[in-house]
Homo-oligomer: A and B are copies of this chain.
Amino acid sequence: MEMRKPSRGRPRSFDEDAVLDAVMRAFWEHGYEGTSVATLEAATGLKAPSLYGAFGSKEVLYHAALERYAREHGNVLRPDGPAREAISEFLYEAADQFSESGLPPGCMVSTAALALGVAQRGVATRPATMRSETLAGIEQRLRTAITEGELPAGTDAGALARLFGAVIQGMSVQAIDGATRRELRGLATAAMAAWPR
């Protein structure tokens, strides 16, 4: 990681981690284009030059916020135990996380940067890559379950992974639209009925 060298010069007047948390929430709630630097100033209490001095640009700030989101609020597929339980747990955790009070609804990655102006096209690639990595992770987990006999040999792991990924993405949309935790959990329950038997 980065070294924290400077004991020389004027010290930072803010906690970089707390600032990044506020930035993350702003981007999470209003997206990349919907969050202006003025918004970030209001959310952090800092002025633009401090933000730029500490991070560099709105775009790297967004990427830093994305990484922080993945680290602090990201959901991971439990690698051990039956795949069915891992997926089920994954969906229920998503239902809970997407409806956590005190945080923006939905998922910062699942429904991020789906429509941007041409000038900001590049911003969308990182969230899109994260989504495809999630799909790939689910698919791999299902493939292992097939070779271990937990799933039938003919199971279409790719399609099933896309299904559970779509469920997560749809839960994010519906959470933003105001779905309750109870409703999202019910959705997760209904989705698990698609598990091959």
Measuring CB to CB, which residues of chain A are less than 8 angstroms from any residue of chain B?
A: 29-36, 39, 106, 110-112, 114-118, 120, 128, 131-132, 135, 156, 158-160, 162-163, 165-174, 176-179, 183-184, 186-187, 189-191, 193-196
Contact = CB atoms under 8 A, between A and B. Distances in A.
Contact of A117 (B30, B128, B193): B30
A159 B114 contact: no
Contact of A158 (B30, B118, B183): B183
A94 to B, nearest CB: 11
Contacts of A115: 29-32, 34, 111-112, 176
Contacts of A172: 114
A156 B183 CA distance: 11
Given A114-B31, A116-B30, A191 B169 contact: no
Given A114-B114, A114-B176, A115-B29, A183 B162 contact: yes
B173 A110 contact: yes
Nearest to A168: B170
A184 B196 CA distance: 18
A159 B128 CA distance: 28
Contacts of A162: 170, 174, 179, 183-184, 186-187, 190
A170 B177 contact: no
A189 B169 CA distance: 18
A38 to B, nearest CB: 10
7 contacts: A30-B115, A31-B33, A35-B117, A114-B114, A128-B176, A158-B183, A162-B184
B194 A117 contact: no
